[in-house]
Amino acid sequence: MIQFSHLTKAYKKRQVAVNDFSLAVDVPIFGFLGQNGAGKTTIIKMIVGLLTPTSGTITMDGKPSTDSASKRRMGFMPETPYFYERMTGLEFMRLCDALYDPHAAAGREARYVALLKRVGIYDARDFEIRTYSKGMRQRLGFAQALVNDPEYLFLDEPLDGLDPIGRREMKEVMRELKKEGKKIFLNTHILNDVEEICDAVGIIHKGRLLYAGTVKEFCKGKPLEERFMEVVGEHEKK
Task: Calculate the average pLDDT of the chain.
Answer: 91
Give dist(CA 142, CA 21) in Å, integer.
27
Write out pLDDT tens, residues 141-198: 999 999 999 999 999 999 988 999 999 999 999 999 999 999 999 998 888 888 889 9
Per residue in 202-211, pLDDT (tens digit) is 999 999 999 9
**In the predicted model, is pLDDT for residue 237 greater than 80?**
no
The whole-number pLDDT of residue 231 equals: 83
Q: Is the pLDDT of residue 115 over 90?
A: yes
Contact, 149 vs 119, CB < 8 A?
no
3 state DSSP class of 226: helix
| pLDDT for res 194 | 87
So what's the pLDDT on residue 222? 84
- The percent of residues in the chain predicted with pLDDT above 70, rounded, is 97
Q: What's the pLDDT at 104?
A: 65
Residue 103 has pLDDT above 80, yes or no: no
Report the SS3 class of residue 15: coil
Residue 100 CB burial class (10 angstroms; 0-12, 13-18, ≥19): middle
How much is the pLDDT for 105? 59
Q: Are 74 and 151 in contact (CB under 8 A)?
A: yes
pLDDT tens figures, 31-76: 999 888 889 999 999 999 999 999 999 999 999 999 989 999 999 9
pLDDT at 102 over 80: no
The candidate with the shortest Cα–Cα distance to 193, out of 32, 24, 1, 45, is 32
